[in-house]
Amino acid sequence: MTLAIGIDVGGTNIRGGVVDETGKILKRARLSSDSRLGKGHFLNQLKKVVDELGVVAAGPPLLQGIAIGLPGIVDPAQGIVYASPHFEDWKNWNAVNDIEKLLGRRPEIDNDANFAVLGEGWLGAAKEWPHYLMITLGTGIGGGIVIDKKVWHGDRGFAGEFGHIIVETEGPRCFCGGRGCLEMFASATGLKILIEEAPEAIDKRDFLRLCDKEIEGITMEEVYRLAQDGNSFAISLFKRVGFYLGVGIASLVNTLGMERVVIGGGIRAAWDFFIGEAKKEVGKRTYKETAARLQIVPSALGDDAGILGAAARVFTLS
């Protein structure tokens, strides 16, 4: 039995696991990534996590390799991270070389979302599917495209940036430089914009009174709880999210001809409040044959998807 170390790096934490070929996580380690403290600090933390896991993975059974999911625009073929939303000093960084020096072993790297996508393909919602899309709705929007069980990276790793599909040509400005991007509507950030832009009415006033805070501080979980309580404004917000998500998925399906979509991220909890509207919009905006066959399913692996997907890369399952 060979083992892999899979690491999932976020803006807050570095999470790692020793994974066997069946996908069982034999040992876990976790440390803060403290993105504000810079690259040197991050590398130290990464080494500590790998060292802790290495105690289990060293010696027989054999450690086949290490794969690390990094938050940012990653070109796995070149080993370069072009930029990261969390780590300001990751600019055109040859991460593979630096990490190889640090660990004495050359790692595989990829974008963290891409590894989560692969994890779902190995053991989760997309098991058995050779082609699929995964869209992750959290603070922002991530995701990936899998073709023949492999992530499609585009020319330099920029593929799968679903958050920046344009769903409103004159919509709000996005930090990417464009406007009306999907992320401005169908994410935690987008929810706040939807609240701000909703016309002043009794139901909005009631909703804001119940939240009892500035719009900036309202979380997706709070909106979800209010929707569960039957608050009509909270319910309408998730319908708007579903609408824009459906518009975005329709463009993707029409472009790629894929009939399988996995939705992951924090918004999954509110599934019943947005999925109906999303499916309705996809149905209106795609060919009947495609819409009839389209499967949109929630992700299945939760927080472990990134670790498992990284391990899958090591085992060259994908």
Instruction: Report the nearest approach of Zn ion to the CB of residue 12 (Å).
Output: 23
CB contact at 8 A, 133 and 299: no
Name the nearest CA neighbour of 218 among 247, 188, 244, 243. Answer: 188
Question: Of the two residues 173 and 213, which places its CB atom closer to Zn ion in the complex?
Answer: 173
Instruction: Report the nearest approach of Zn ion to the CB of residue 244 (Å).
Output: 13
Question: Of the two residues 109 and 141, which places its CB atom closer to Zn ion in the complex?
Answer: 141
Instruction: Report the nearest approach of Zn ion to the CB of residue 171 (Å).
Output: 10
Edge to edge, the sheet with strand 3-9 lists: 25-32, 13-20, 3-9, 63-70, 108-111
Instruction: Report the nearest approach of Zn ion to the CB of residue 163 (Å).
Output: 6
CB contact at 8 A, 227 and 236: no
Sign of CA dihedral 240, 244, 245, 247: positive
SS3 62: coil
Instruction: Report the nearest approach of Zn ion to the CB of residue 162 (Å).
Output: 10
In the region spanning residues 170 to 209, those forming contacts with Zn ion, defined by CB under 5 A, are 174, 176, 178, 181
Question: Of the two residues 178 and 283, which places its CB atom closer to Zn ion in the complex?
Answer: 178
SS3 298: strand
Matching residue, tokens 């023949």: 148
Name the nearest CA neighbour of 85 among 204, 233, 187. Answer: 187
3-state secondary structure 131-183: CEEEEEECCCEEEEEEECCEECCCCCCCCCCHHHCECCCCCCECCCCCECEHH
Question: Of the two residues 168 and 206, which places its CB atom closer to Zn ion in the complex?
Answer: 168
Instruction: Report the nearest approach of Zn ion to the CB of residue 183 (Å).
Output: 6
Question: Of the two residues 176 and 201, which places its CB atom closer to Zn ion in the complex?
Answer: 176
Give the Cα-Cα-Cα angle 178, 180, 186 (nearest 5 degrees). Answer: 120
In the region spanning residues 132 to 171, those forming contacts with Zn ion, defined by CB under 5 A, are 164
Question: Of the two residues 164 and 268, which places its CB atom closer to Zn ion in the complex?
Answer: 164
Number of chain residues interacting with Zn ion (CB under 5 A): 5
Cis bond upstream, residue 130 (ω within 30): no
Instruction: Report the nearest approach of Zn ion to the CB of residue 178 (Å).
Output: 5
* Residues composing the chain: 318
Question: Of the two residues 11 and 178, which places its CB atom closer to Zn ion in the complex?
Answer: 178
Instruction: Report the nearest approach of Zn ion to the CB of residue 156 (Å).
Output: 18
Structure tokens at 274: 């947005």
**Burial class, 129, CB count within 10 angstroms (exposed 0-12 / middle 13-18 / buried 19+):** middle
Determine if 83 is a binding residue for Zn ion (CB under 5 A).
no
Question: Of the two residues 164 and 313, which places its CB atom closer to Zn ion in the complex?
Answer: 164
SS3 249: helix
Question: Of the two residues 175 and 287, which places its CB atom closer to Zn ion in the complex?
Answer: 175
Instruction: Report the nearest approach of Zn ion to the CB of residue 237 (Å).
Output: 20
Which residues form the interface with Zn ion (CB under 5 A)? 164, 174, 176, 178, 181
